[in-house]
Structure 1
Amino acid sequence: MASVLEARTPGFNPYAVKYSPYYDSRLAVAASSNYGIVGNGRLFVLGLGPPNGIQIEKYFDTNDAQYDLAWSEINENQLAVACGDGSIKLFDLGVDQFPVMNFHEHNREAFSVCWNPITKDTFISSSWDGTIKIWSPTRPQSLKTLPVGTCTYSAQFSPHNPSLISCASSDSHIRLFDLRTPVTAKYHLTTLIPAHSPPPPLPGSHGPPLLSNGTPYPGSVPSEILTHDWNKYSDTLLAAGGVDRTIRTFDIRNPQGGPLSVISGHEFAVRKLAWSPHARDILVSASYDMTVRVWNDGTGMPLPPGMQQQGGVVNVGTEMGRMNRHTEFATGVDWCLFGAGGWTASVGWDERVLVWDAHTLLRR
């Protein structure tokens, strides 16, 4: 593998990394002391470029652990950080240390934060308290609370629809909330996807559903979903991964139809995944097995003779390559939006930020 740029986060174990949506030379890392169990957190802002490769340009401390971050979509110098005390803090690169806004309604750890990439005027947070909250960056009170009812590790706005919010949680389900619908008793909940349910059998078949390689669909036990992401090229396609080490993709138009693709290979839980912003069928994942892997979701692979892509046939994703330089849990990964389409940043509990070109893996 080609050279890897590296920065250290001494005394802090990273949980998340995000490239700036404005500059390909800037990224940020949310990190926590003592692996996020107890102690404070630190937000690192790093710059890329000569002569030093990658270096810390600024940092912000918080009294509790930091688990996730999101760059503002309306101000290139601001970032929101999800903290272990349930708060979301908004920092500005032009203001030293103190947050410019503090949002605190969650009563347990805030574990994810995501800015609306379309309207750009709101962001969301999710928490172990079983709720998603919608915020405006200009007011301390939330605009709306969406009850999930179970520990919610990951929440995102759709990159295609500003009214569509998805979340992944500990009860093995992916939920979709459409803010255009009436509140009613379901609080905008429109779709519930059981992530570990098998697809329906093939029409007329008496056997189990099949994978695209002709083998029976493997059984699975419901387990916690730790991460999910929207495909950037299809407004109905999601990927999710978690404790059972497997990544699955789903079409939200067929929530009971089981996964479209199954991607296996990690030896421990999948902590973070992200679809490529440059290719429809490529995604990257970080795992507690200390590896970061690049995958093809298998949708472009031809089916064996006699098999048709219809109910019961699930694509098999393939590993394109892996980056194994981390020496502790790999906890975060993100794609750079700019350039040729391969630059990736990853972080792990080894107090390291690694920036590398995924194309070097794909060419192996």
Structure 2
Amino acid sequence: MNRPPPALLQTPGFAHYALKWSPFHGNRLVLASSANFGLVGNGRLHLVSLIPGPGGLPTIKLDKYFETQDGLYDVAWSEVHENQVVTASGDGSIRMWDIMLNDLAIAAWHEHTREVLSVDWSNVKKDTFASASWDGNIKVWTPDRPRSLLTLQAHSSCVYSALFSPHHPDILASCSTDGTVKIFDLRAPAYASNTNSYTKPLSAAALTVPASGSEVLSLDWNKYKTFTIACGGVDKTIKVWDCRMIKMGETGLVGGACETTLLGHEYAVKKVQWSPHHGDLLASASYDMTCRVWNTMPVAPVSQLVYIHDGHTEFVAGCAWSLYEEGFLASCGWDGRLALYRPI
């Protein structure tokens, strides 16, 4: 198959950690970026638009950027306001921006005590977003309140990501340095009715999946299969879990059946994302400087590995499928490069 060369945008001096497509406009993206590879220094929120171009791929245009005092590690679009995004910062803060305004954030929250690594806006309960932090906590927010709605003491160590289920408004999954994926039901009571006995704290996971013997850096819910989750991490593998296969353990429900293990990355897997258009198509970004596309349910003799993009020259930290244009995939990395291509 002859594919056109990727469309590229270079932003010198800033390493990209995450990118997100707008849920309202198919030609708009945002990038969360940090100076000095996120180790020290400022951050930037880049607003990018796509202009139709020849060969089936658009031209990428940098519209504007917002400066921050600390590095940015993640970004999420509002599901209720087309011009608003929230960012996760290295100073422990979460900020909301209106991309039609200039310079200053329109809201800020600072409850986390360590770096915020993940923000996710629920596309089911659209007035709610979640944050995950190096402090081991997940917090749930609504933009109208100055304080978080609740705090989950989710893991004993760094939480790399926390994502709402695309199928249920009160189900949330997280992954951590402890090698587990945990699923939380936000409807669970913290105390038994009409008693003073402590029965099930909200911080107790509804299900714990022992996903890896090392750190799990990323996870994503399948958009078509209700309790199917993919995760990737330091062990260089990607695993697909059926979270319906459970049993009772000493601290609650544990389990999850590993349906598929995807091998091929040479270093840690930093990001996984299921396609919004195909239930068996998964993209991954890795420290091996590649972004890969996988078919998780191939029919022999078709290979599970569908495509490799090796155009980055540093760690690939983010990847995301276009929500509107089937087959468009974007990736970003520490080389300050945003790439857009058609892997399928």
TM-score, normalisation: structure 2: 0.90
Separation in 2, partners of 1:257, 1:349: 33
Would you say the 8 A contact 1:7–1:54 is kept in 2?
Answer: yes
Q: For residues 250-296 of structure 1, what are the alpha-carbon distances to aligned partners after superposition, in whole Å with 9 as ceiling and x for unaligned? A: 11111424411100100000000100001111100000000000001
Long gaps (5+) in structure 2: 191-199, 247-254
Do structure 1's residue 345 and structure 2's residue 330 form an aligned pair? yes
Pick one of 233, 240, 243 that aligns with 2:224.
Answer: 233
Partner of 1:159: 166
Choose from 178, 186, 190 the match for 1:179: 186
Shift of 1:20: 0.7
Give 1:302 deviation, angstroms. 6.3
Which of the numbers 141, 144, 159 marks the counterpart of 2:150?
144
Query: Alignment partner for residue 170 of structure 1, among 162, 169, 177?
Result: 177
Q: Could you tell me which of 76, 79, 83 is aligned with 2:85?
A: 79
2:33 corresponds to which of 31, 36, 42? 31
Structure 1 runs not aligned, ≥5 long: 197-221, 304-315, 360-364
Matched AA of 2:328: W
Displacement of 1:349 in angstroms is 0.7
2:322 maps to what in 1? 336
Give the distance between the partners of 2:127 and 2:18, measured in 1 at CA: 23
Partner of 2:305: 319
Q: Would the aligned equivalents of 2:24 and 2:82 in 1 still touch at CA under 8 Å?
A: yes
Answer whether contact 1:179 1:188 (CA < 8 A) is retained: no
Amino acid at match of 1:342: G
The aligned residue for residue 197 of structure 2 is none
Corresponding position of 2:194: none
Secondary structure at the counterpart of residue 119 of structure 1: coil
Note closer, same or farther for the CA distance 1:242–1:317 as it changes in structure 2 (3 Å cut).
farther
- What do you get for the CA RMSD once the two structures are aligned? 1.6
The match for 2:251 is none
Q: Distance in 2 between matches of 1:226 and 1:58?
A: 30
Contact 2:186 2:202 in 1 (8 A): no
Q: In the alignment, which residue of structure 2 is the partner of 1:199?
A: none
**Identity over aligned residues, as a percent?**
46
Q: Distance in 2 between matches of 1:251 and 1:302?
A: 22
Q: Which residue of 1 aligns with 2:100?
A: 94
TM-score normalized by the length of structure 1: 0.85
Structure 1 residue 140 displacement after superposition: 2.1
State the distance in 1 between where 2:314 and 2:222 align.
28
> What is the rounded CA distance, in whole Å, between the counterparts of 1:132 and 1:144 in structure 2?
8
Letter aligned with residue 25 of structure 2:
Y
